[in-house]
Amino acid sequence: MRRRDVLRTAGGAAMAGVASGVPSLLGCSERPPAATGGAAPAAKDKRQLVLDLLDESKPPRYTPAAFFIHFGEEYQVGPPAIAKHTEYFRSTGMDFVKIQYEAGFPLHPEIEKPEDWARMPLHGKEHYEAQVGVVEGLVKALKKEALVVCTLYSPFMLARDSVGAERTIKHIEEDPEAVKKGLEIVTESLLTFVRECVRVGVDGFYASTQGGEAGRFSRPGSFRECVMPFDLRVQREINESCLFNILHICDYDLPYDDLSPFLEYPGDVVTSSLHVGEETLTPKELSEFFGRPFMGGLDRKGIIVNGTAEQIRQEVHDVLVDSSDRHILGADCTLPGDIAWENIRTAITAAHDFRG
């Protein structure tokens, strides 16, 4: 299914309205659902409400919201992971299911020199089996009522975690051609994971990128040479195969001073920090810049973590008045794991109430 053709025009600057009959609200490999009686979507049909954001022929009537946390080691695989994600989704009232990727990538300390990257092993389906099992379980449990999206770290992020941050940067700057051979292999491994998730019915991915931050590389051009091409291979594939993808420009490690390279990245929704260089932009400005709905607005370490309910509601209100009509309330990155879920629920409810 090439839903790009029906949900958006090419070029990133405009979202094409579909004059009639959005062809499918289902994910990549879903069969038609059981009959629902043909009634108009109920207010709680979160799949439809989120997808409506991408369709300019539909007037915005709802502000979705979602926040993410890691659940701790005991909830990373198997039934405990599925149960915890489900509990969190229900408790917070968020509008789509976002699955944390906890499978990591094997460590390869034997990669000591740039030329060693050519020997990066290719990891197959078996490496991803447990993580795909969590995706499959959550698709079965929750896809009928909400989009199910899985976190995807970029080839650069996985390679860096596998080989070591300092060493990876050093090798890229010394001999980019040699490192690219390894990044090719990491990308192939990652695409195996992507295809397995698509096979079990995921709706899309929350695709994180790092490497384009200010000061990440000292040699100009390293990001465009050794990070971006691999990002784009993955992002173009998910864009072709899935219904709903979020591009996350992650500032967890470092801030950005230029977001323009990411205009070339696909992704139905973009999420990033509001801070770019010396400036703090509004969500509306970022949505206009990217030509797509923006997700975010709240500081992951701010009011949502330590504010009162009233302060949280006020903060959400202040964010949403500066947002475009097609906005998803969220934070700039993952929230602290020990945050009170009640705070998250308060923020999400405030977003839902914003349009009355």
Q: Beta strands of the chain (E only): which ranges?
A: 96-99, 147-152, 204-209, 246-249, 269-272, 275-276, 279-280, 294-298, 327-331
CB of 253 vs Zn ion, minimal distance in Å: 9
**Pick 62 or 252: Cβ nearer Zn ion:** 252
* Count of residues in contact with Zn ion, rule CB under 5 A: 3
Q: Which of residues 15-34 bind Zn ion (CB under 5 A)?
A: none
CB of 216 vs Zn ion, minimal distance in Å: 14
**Pick 241 or 271: Cβ nearer Zn ion:** 271
Interacting residue with Zn ion among 157, 202, 238, 250 (CB under 5 A) = 250
Q: Name the amino acid, one letter, at 124.
A: G
Q: Which of residues 209-248 bind Zn ion (CB under 5 A)?
A: none
**278 Rama sector, left if φ>0, alpha if ψ -120 to 50, beta otherwise:** alpha
**Pick 51 or 65: Cβ nearer Zn ion:** 65
**Pick 252 or 341: Cβ nearer Zn ion:** 252
CB of 248 vs Zn ion, minimal distance in Å: 6
Residue at token pair 């020199």: 113
Q: Which of residues 316-335 bind Zn ion (CB under 5 A)?
A: 333
Q: Which of residues 76-95 bind Zn ion (CB under 5 A)?
A: none
Residue 218 has what DSSP assignment? S
The Cβ of residue 112 has, within 10 Å, a number of other Cβ atoms equal to 12
**Pick 201 or 212: Cβ nearer Zn ion:** 212
Q: Of 112, 228, 123, 250, nearest to 180 (Cα)?
A: 228
**Pick 137 or 330: Cβ nearer Zn ion:** 330
CB of 54 vs Zn ion, minimal distance in Å: 22
Contact track, Zn ion, 170-189, x by CB under 5 A: --------------------
CB of 238 vs Zn ion, minimal distance in Å: 17
Return the axis-axis angle of helices 125-142 and 78-92, rounded to nearest 10°: 40
CB of 207 vs Zn ion, minimal distance in Å: 11
**Pick 247 or 333: Cβ nearer Zn ion:** 333
* C-alpha to C-alpha distance for 81 and 74, rounded to whole angstroms: 8
Stretch that binds Zn ion, among 35-43, 62-70, 226-234, 250-258 (CB under 5 A): 250-258
**Pick 185 or 259: Cβ nearer Zn ion:** 259
Interacting residue with Zn ion among 71, 252, 289, 341 (CB under 5 A) = 252
Sign of the four-CA dihedral 350, 244, 338, 141:
positive
H helix intervals, 13-154: 46-52, 78-92, 125-142
CB of 252 vs Zn ion, minimal distance in Å: 4
Contact 250/230 with Cβ under 8 angstroms? no
- Three-state SS at 147: strand
**β-strand partners of 331:** 298
Sequence-separated (6 or more) residues with CB below 8 Å from residue 333: 248, 250, 251, 252, 273, 300
CB of 125 vs Zn ion, minimal distance in Å: 27
Residue at token pair 């109430």: 353
Binding site for Zn ion (CB under 5 A): 250, 252, 333
